[in-house]
Amino acid sequence: MTAISTEAVKELREKSGAGVMECRNALVKAGGDMEKAQEILRQKGIEKAEKKKDRVTKEGKIEAYVHMNKIGVLLEINCETDFVARNELFGNLAKEIALQIAAQGPQYISRDRIPPDVIEKQKEVIKKVAQDEGKPANILERVVEGKLEKFFRTVCLLEQAYIRDEDRKISDLIQDVIAKLGENISVNRFVRYVLGE
């Protein structure tokens, strides 16, 4: 068995926000490899978040962000208790999401909130463009599906790549905080204002 130093546990705890025993166990399981231990904790966090996703979120906060007096965002982000709503980690998450909205301009929270007629219209546009480009009929459906996925990653907040780390989605950020705080967290609504629009 690999000997795990107190310093390694402390380092992992600072990076992940997980408890001391969780960090020690992850390091043991990873044979002392810090990156593997972080991945183990992340997977555990995803499992925890999945179990909490149906819990009611009635508390939370309204986050406001204004960028250079030209773009403004109001975001309602919810959690289960007022205790978590006042937590610094939750507040930081709200700030990061508001910044994401200002920078990337999503139109919807998630794909299930997009009106069906908008999705149908998008499919028609993609199909027409593909036909005009001379794509063979036998691959049209796959082309439409692929481009529709790209559309979702552009217009849906939860599916967008995080502006500070392109390898992670906004939904990943939320899941990480759910895992650390032990409560369900959801984005309820947002509005983005652009000066002159």
Q: Is 15 left (phi over 0), alpha (psi -120 to 50) or beta?
A: alpha
Please give the average per-residue pLDDT across 144-161, as a whole number.
94
- pLDDT band at 161, cuts 50/70/90? very high
Q: Does the pLDDT at position 52 exceed 70?
A: no
Give me the percent of the chain exceeding a pLDDT of 90. 50
| Segment among 41-45, 57-61, 134-138 with least mean pLDDT | 41-45
CA distance 37 to 18: 11
How far apart CA 149 and CA 131 sit, in angstroms, is 18
Strands 71-79 and 185-194: antiparallel
- Global confidence as pTM: 0.73
Which pLDDT does position 170 carry in this prediction?
97
The DSSP string of the chain is -----HHHHHHHHHHH---HHHHHHHHHHTTT-HHHHHHHHHHHHHHHHHHHTTS---EEEEEEEEETTTEEEEEEEEES-HHHHT-HHHHHHHHHHHHHHHHH--SBSSGGGS-HHHHHHHHHHHHHHHHHTT--GGGHHHHHHHHHHHHHHHHBGGGSEETTEEEEEHHHHHHHHHHHH-S-EEEEEEEEEETT-
pLDDT winner (highest mean) among 48-57, 126-135, 137-146, 169-178: 169-178
Q: How confident is the model at residue 71 (pLDDT cuts 50, 70, 90)?
A: very high
**CA dist., res. 38 & res. 135, Å (int):** 44
- Of 36-50, 101-115, 121-135, minimum mean pLDDT range: 36-50
At 46, is the pLDDT very low, low, confident or very high (cuts 50, 70, 90)? Answer: low
Average pLDDT over the chain, rounded to whole?
A: 88
Rounded CA-CA distance 152/68 in Å is 28
